[in-house]
């Protein structure tokens, strides 16, 4: 399996606090059947400063440690980029890393409680620069939980969607689980990732989420594709032919405004 979203780099954000924790997360990932992890530290959020050059250096350092420990885990650079003003310009200036540095895809994170007014335009500017945003964990955003049509809008604009494995299993709360299941059923999910921050509280484990997604979908093949062939295309920088989402549920005017 491939984990597109993991805070495994030590001491750069609120993920792995130190090298020992990074190694513990790597061991956990390998034991779960994960062979490739994209290291995605928080970026562009005015709290953590993780430009491309820093991420590349830290990924290189951690690779050497994992190799010395005999851990067969491929580590790729990336970032968990906060949606912000001048986002495309800042990515072009290498203030945040695209996935595997291929310049084609980047994780894009909304705040947990709101959808900023200019976010759609910022994502559109990325698309104009031939960078496809992958929206991270919309099921954990309070607004998306109540307005799935906003996720439809982003997908129709050309964005892709990643949800968290622990959201699907219910370990991040009922609201996140219900939204994750609804997104899966509507064909609005393209990737499942761990968004791991430690080996204990939010671990580097995908298998449980994939099993739960297969049950929700009634389709093990599609659930597996979300952690295998689909993220493999992203790592390679290849065009991704996203499956069409199911038609929107048409609501009566009184259901919208009532």
- Look at residue 245 and tell me if it is in a domain: no
Mean pLDDT (whole number) for 6-25: 98
Say whether pLDDT at 252 is over 60. Answer: no
CB < 8 Å & 24+ apart, contacts of 172-177: 172/140, 175/145, 176/137, 176/139, 176/140, 176/145, 177/139
Does some domain include residue 81?
yes
CATH label of the domain that carries residue 89: 3.20.20.140
CA 8-60-160 angle, 5° bins? 55
Q: How confident is the model at residue 112 (pLDDT cuts 50, 70, 90)?
A: confident
**Residue 84 located in a structural domain:** yes
Query: What pLDDT score was predicted for residue 250?
Result: 63
Provide the whole-model pTM.
0.95
The pLDDT value given to residue 182: 97
| pLDDT grade for 163, boundaries at 50, 70 and 90 | very high
Q: Which domain holds residue 193?
A: 2-239
Decide if 233 contacts 240 (C-beta within 8 A).
yes
Mean pLDDT over 36-50 rounds to 96
pLDDT at 84 over 70: yes
Look at residue 131 in the predicted model and tell me its pLDDT. Answer: 98
pLDDT, average across residues 66-76: 97
User: Does residue 106 sit within a domain?
Assistant: yes
What's the rounded mean pLDDT across residues 30-50?
97
Q: What is the pLDDT of residues 176-233, one digit of tens each?
A: 999 999 999 999 999 999 999 999 989 999 999 999 999 999 999 999 999 999 999 9
Q: Is residue 257 part of a domain?
A: no
Question: Could you tell me what percent of the chain has a pLDDT over 70?
Answer: 97
pLDDT reading at 248 higher than 90 = no
In a domain, 86, yes or no: yes
* Domain assignment of residue 244, yes or no: no
The total number of structural domains that make up the chain:
1
Categorize the per-residue pLDDT at 168 as very low, low, confident or very high, splitting at 50, 70 and 90: very high
CA 177 from centroid of its chain's CA atoms: 16
164 within domain boundaries:
yes
């Amino acid at each position: 399996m491939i984990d597109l979203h993991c805070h495994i780099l030590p001491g750069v954000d609120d993920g792995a606090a130190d090298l020992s924790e990074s190694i513990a997360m790597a061991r956990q990932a390998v034991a779960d059947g994960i062979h490739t992890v994209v290291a995605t530290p928080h970026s562009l959020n005015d709290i953590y400063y993780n430009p491309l050059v820093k991420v590349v250096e830290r990924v290189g350092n951690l690779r050497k440690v994992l190799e010395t420990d005999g851990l067969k885990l491929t580590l790729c650079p990336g970032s968990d980029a906060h949606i912000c003003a001048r986002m495309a310009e800042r990515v072009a200036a290498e203030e945040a890393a695209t996935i595997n540095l291929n310049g084609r895809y980047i994780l894009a994170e909304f705040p947990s409680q709101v959808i900023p007014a200019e976010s759609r335009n910022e994502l559109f500017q990325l698309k104009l620069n031939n960078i496809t945003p992958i929206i991270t964990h919309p099921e954990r955003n309070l607004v998306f939980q109540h307005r799935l049509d906003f996720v439809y809008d982003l997908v129709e604009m050309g964005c892709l969607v990643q949800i968290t494995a622990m959201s699907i299993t219910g370990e991040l709360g009922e609201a996140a689980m219900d939204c994750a299941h609804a997104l899966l059923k509507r064909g609005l999910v393209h990737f499942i990732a761990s968004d791991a921050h430690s080996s204990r509280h939010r671990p580097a484990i995908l298998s449980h989420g994939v099993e739960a997604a297969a049950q929700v979908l009634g389709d093990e093949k599609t659930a597996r594709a979300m952690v295998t062939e689909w993220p493999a295309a992203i790592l390679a920088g290849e065009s991704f032919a996203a499956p069409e989402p199911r038609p929107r549920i048409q609501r009566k005017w009184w259901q919208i405004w009532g």
